[in-house]
């Protein structure tokens, strides 16, 4: 299902040469996981004129999660899992935010104004919801429905990266293990990560539910009682393909070990609210 955005003048944005917003990799993977990467790309459709930003700024973390796509793809292959990856910059629409969130189409990202997102009409915002958000989350929901109907509900894992310095403050954490109200997998994964002694892994850092970063988990994992977790990796640790492959291998091992030990009860509780 190819999705097309609309330019502010009503013309087509020519999104990704009419390819789908949600790219599916290893779609026939038979493993226990579904990998999702909401901030995989920094593409801005040409009709949006780079949202008024320089090309160099669109290469930074405000436009996407550098390294996350490479980690997510390697992780999917290591786990024989499908990957659903976003193909449009989160500045066009952040698919880890619901349509009612102001940060879904941010007017400012970190310290940078986003001119192309300023003073959008309700119709222009709806165009982005319909053109980016809905097809991406429909792809996730469709996959989950199919797997659940087969009696093989998958484990939902979303992959992100974060900048080492945010608003001038250095972050010391290496790996963030993020959960919302169901922390079964997150807590098991955190134990495995810490046991390895390789990285500084922390629960709900540098982001947690209070930062509105768990939308995909809440939208898809919680209603189906799926084991779920969001993984945040500091992006200087995954700056090239070798580092991304190494991180994915480590994460795959930790996830498999965690899955063997996790409590499969409902296990819901409020965290970070």
- Cis-peptide into 206, omega within 30 deg: yes
∠ CA 166-40-240 to the nearest 5 degrees? 75
Each residue of 76-126: pLDDT tens digit?
999 999 999 999 999 999 999 999 999 999 999 988 999 999 999 999 999
User: Between β-strands 155-162 and 33-37, what pairing exists: parallel, antiparallel or unpaired?
Assistant: parallel
Residue 270 pLDDT grade (very low, low, confident, very high; cuts 50, 70, 90): very low
Q: What pLDDT score does 79 carry?
A: 98
SS3 content of the chain, % helix, strand, coil (to 5): 40, 15, 45
Residue 273 pLDDT grade (very low, low, confident, very high; cuts 50, 70, 90): very low
**Mean pLDDT, the chain, integer:** 90
- Half-sphere exposure (CA, 13 Å, Cβ side) for 27? 9
- Output the CA–CA distances (angstroms, integers) from residue 151 to 32, 141, 146, in the order listed: 12, 15, 9
How many distinct helices (H) and strands (E) make up the chain?
6, 11
- 111, 118 contact by CB (below 8 A): no
Q: What pLDDT score does 169 carry?
A: 84
**pTM of the prediction?**
0.91
Residue 266 pLDDT grade (very low, low, confident, very high; cuts 50, 70, 90): low
Is pLDDT above 80 for 18? no
Percent of the chain with pLDDT over 90: 84
Structure tokens at 265: 């009860």
Q: What pLDDT score does 269 carry?
A: 45
Beta strands in the chain (DSSP E): 22-25, 33-37, 83-86, 108-109, 112-113, 155-162, 165-166, 169-170, 175-178, 201-203, 228-234
Percent of the chain with pLDDT over 70: 90
- Residue 40 dihedral angles phi and psi, to the nearest 5°: -80, -20
Q: What pLDDT score does 166 carry?
A: 82
Instruction: Give exposure, 202-215, as e/b (b: 16+ Cβ within 10 Å).
Output: bbbbbbbbeebbbb
Q: What pLDDT score does 220 carry?
A: 98
Is pLDDT above 90 for 5? no
Each residue of 112-140: pLDDT tens digit?
999 999 999 999 999 999 999 999 999 99
Each residue of 27-74: pLDDT tens digit?
999 999 999 999 999 999 998 999 999 999 999 999 999 999 999 999
Q: Could you tell me which residues come within 8 angstroms of residue 113 by beta carbon, excluding any fewer than 6 positions away?
A: 107
Task: Please classify residue 98 by burial: count the beta carbons closer than 10 Å to its beta carbon, then call 0-12 exposed, 13-18 middle and 19+ buried.
Answer: middle
Is pLDDT above 60 for 1? no
């Amino acid at each position: 299902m190819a999705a097309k955005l609309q330019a502010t003048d009503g013309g087509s944005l020519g999104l990704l040469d009419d390819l789908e917003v949600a790219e599916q990799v290893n779609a026939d993977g038979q493993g226990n996981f579904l990998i999702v990467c909401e901030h995989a790309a920094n593409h801005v459709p040409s009709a949006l004129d780079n949202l008024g930003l320089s090309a160099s700024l669109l290469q930074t973390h405000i436009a996407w999660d550098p390294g996350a796509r490479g980690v997510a793809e390697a992780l999917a292959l290591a786990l024989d899992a499908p990957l659903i990856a976003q193909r449009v910059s989160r500045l066009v629409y952040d698919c880890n935010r619901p349509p009612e969130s102001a940060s879904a189409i941010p007017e400012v990202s970190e310290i940078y104004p986003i001119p192309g997102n300023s003073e959008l009409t309700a119709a222009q915002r709806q165009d982005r919801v319909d053109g980016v958000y809905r097809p991406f989350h429909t792809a996730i929901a469709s996959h989950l429905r199919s797997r659940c109907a087969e009696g093989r509900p998958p484990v939902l894992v979303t992959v992100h990266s974060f900048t080492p310095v945010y608003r001038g403050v250095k972050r010391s954490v290496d790996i963030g293990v993020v959960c919302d109200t169901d922390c079964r997998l997150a807590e098991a994964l955190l134990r495995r990560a810490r046991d390895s002694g390789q990285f500084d892994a922390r629960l709900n850092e540098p982001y947690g539910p209070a930062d509105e970063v768990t939308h995909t988990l809440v939208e898809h994992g919680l209603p189906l009682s799926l084991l779920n977790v969001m993984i945040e990796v500091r992006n200087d640790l995954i700056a090239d393909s070798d580092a991304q492959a190494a991180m994915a291998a480590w994460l795959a091992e930790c996830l498999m070990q965690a899955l063997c030990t996790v409590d499969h009860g409902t296990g819901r509780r409020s965290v970070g609210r």
